[in-house]
Chain A
Amino acid sequence: MFRPAAREVVKLPTRYFSCKSEPTRAVTATKKASREEIAGLIPAFPEIYPDFLQSPVWNRRNALKEELERQDMLERRMNIDIPEFYVGSIVAVTSSDKNLGSKEHRFVGICIRREKEGLLHQFTLRNTIENIGVEVLYDLYNPTIKKIETLKLEKRLDSDLSYLVDALPEYSTFDFHMEPQAHPAGTPIPVNECKVKLKNPPWTRRWEISSYRGIDDTWTQATPWYKRKLHKTLVNDYEKYDLIANYRTSSTKEQEVFVQTQMQKFEKERHAAGLTRRRILKSAASYK
């Protein structure tokens, strides 16, 4: 439910309890910049930089290791422009391939998933070439990647578009020579609310019992056998009650602020040294 628009809620940087950071709400152009944004921090940090989140396995969180990893990640970001993209955005990746020699290898596709934290962060792009669906996995910090461009910046209803495998090919087809569509700075990220139609079953996964919002009516298409077996039980329905899972995967405000201040410091040092003018910490939905 939306808060009353008259009163602006000011987010304080210190909190006495840690809770899940709120995603960017409908920020209109007329709203004033919050205290965070004035400090140069981004409220939607975990969405834009999912690789800077901490490991969901509690045992693997170690401040020193994260610091060393962050240093490597920021160095890489200073050398190559890693743009902002979400699951559902159309991305083009130009990489150098050993087998091709001096020729570059370019792949354009829709980002269907982004996984893992830190230097291991991966994203998969999907496209349909000559009626054959192709998915390519890329390590975000692999040094053979020369360029990553976001051709169209948008979000979808789900954070994981694996169902495009079983969807009609038109939903995964994107032109290789697509022109990049610029996103006007300051506007919120558009959410593409299209509902995808699936091919006839059998499917690779049980989409009819999963709770993906981007699929258009799986139940009628699903085979009668499965309908008989599980009368509308949803897999993963319990996940909204799993508070510990939420605690593990989400980040705290303190951690976000800490990482962002480290990034700002890194940026400032490199700018001062006169090496690059590249900005690492930026958000397409912010005012700057």
Chain B
Amino acid sequence: MGIHRRTRLNVVDNSALGKEADTTGKLPYCIHVYKQGRRAKHMPHAELGDKILVAIRGQMRKAYVVGANTHVHYRKHGVPVTDQNMIVLLDEEGNPLGNRITAPIPTKLMANRANVQFSKVLALANKYI
């Protein structure tokens, strides 16, 4: 239904780590979702704009979900749905690793402008869908 543990994701920024993962073919996969769940001992699924922990090239990195492939029955009006699940990597402090985002980003993410971490990611985006 959303992005959960073991979901493979595509990195959309121009960070070196992301490019390496793409070329070697070992895509990053989600290992944790930073979200408040509603069911005991069940980790909620990540959607557009959520923060997750991914495993890339043997290391763990935090990332923001910037494009999600939601099932037809869960889609909402006006929210674009991409064919791939796209993420933007963050470093330990929470700053984005790359300095540009290649893919177009849904405008819905602009609602999280107030969040300092997220606004840094939005500053890198140049095309909005």
Chain A residues close to B by CB (< 8 Å)? 95, 97-100, 105, 107, 122, 124, 129-130, 132-139, 142, 144, 165
Q: Are A132 and B76 in contact (CB under 8 A)?
A: no
B111 cross-chain contacts in A, Cβ below 8 A: 98-99
Which chain A residue shows the least CB distance to B108? A99
Q: Are A135 and B80 in contact (CB under 8 A)?
A: yes
CA A32 to CA B110, docked complex, whole Å:
56
Q: Are A137 and B104 in contact (CB under 8 A)?
A: no
Q: Are B84 and A132 in contact (CB under 8 A)?
A: yes
CA A132 to CA B81, docked complex, whole Å:
10
Indicate the size class of the contact surface on chain B.
20 to 34
**Chain B: minimal CB distance from A238 (Å):** 23
Q: Are B83 and A142 in contact (CB under 8 A)?
A: no
Given A133-B83, A135-B82, A137-B79, 12 additional A-B pairs, CB 8 A: A97-B78, A97-B107, A100-B110, A100-B128, A105-B107, A129-B104, A132-B84, A132-B103, A134-B82, A137-B75, A142-B78, A144-B78
B83 cross-chain contacts in A, Cβ below 8 A: 132-135, 165
Chain B residues close to A by CB (< 8 Å)? 67, 75-84, 86, 102-104, 107-108, 110-111, 127-129
Q: Are A122 and B77 in contact (CB under 8 A)?
A: yes
Q: Are A132 and B82 in contact (CB under 8 A)?
A: yes
Which chain A residue shows the least CB distance to B75? A137
A137 cross-chain contacts in B, Cβ below 8 A: 75-79, 81
B104 cross-chain contacts in A, Cβ below 8 A: 129-130, 132, 134
Residue of A99, A124, A132 with most chain B CB atoms under a 10 A cut-off = A132
A136 cross-chain contacts in B, Cβ below 8 A: 78-81
B86 cross-chain contacts in A, Cβ below 8 A: 132
> What would be 26 A-B contacts, judged by CB atoms less than 8 Å apart?
A95-B78, A99-B108, A99-B111, A100-B107, A107-B129, A122-B77, A129-B103, A129-B104, A130-B102, A130-B103, A130-B127, A132-B67, A132-B82, A133-B82, A134-B80, A134-B82, A134-B129, A135-B80, A135-B83, A136-B80, A136-B81, A137-B77, A137-B81, A142-B77, A142-B78, A144-B78
B81 cross-chain contacts in A, Cβ below 8 A: 134-137
**Chain B: minimal CB distance from A53 (Å):** 20
Which chain B residue shows the least CB distance to A100? B107
CA A122 to CA B129, docked complex, whole Å:
19
A132 cross-chain contacts in B, Cβ below 8 A: 67, 82-84, 86, 103-104
Which chain A residue shows the least CB distance to B109? A99
A107 cross-chain contacts in B, Cβ below 8 A: 80, 129
Q: Are B110 and A99 in contact (CB under 8 A)?
A: yes
CA A100 to CA B109, docked complex, whole Å:
11
B80 cross-chain contacts in A, Cβ below 8 A: 107, 134-136
**Chain B: minimal CB distance from A241 (Å):** 26
CA A134 to CA B49, docked complex, whole Å:
17
* A138: contacting residue among B78, B102, B108, B128, CB under 8 A: B78
B103 cross-chain contacts in A, Cβ below 8 A: 129-130, 132
Per CB-CB distance, the 9 closest pairs between chain A and chain B, nearest first, are A133-B83, A99-B110, A137-B75, A139-B77, A136-B80, A99-B107, A135-B81, A134-B80, A129-B104
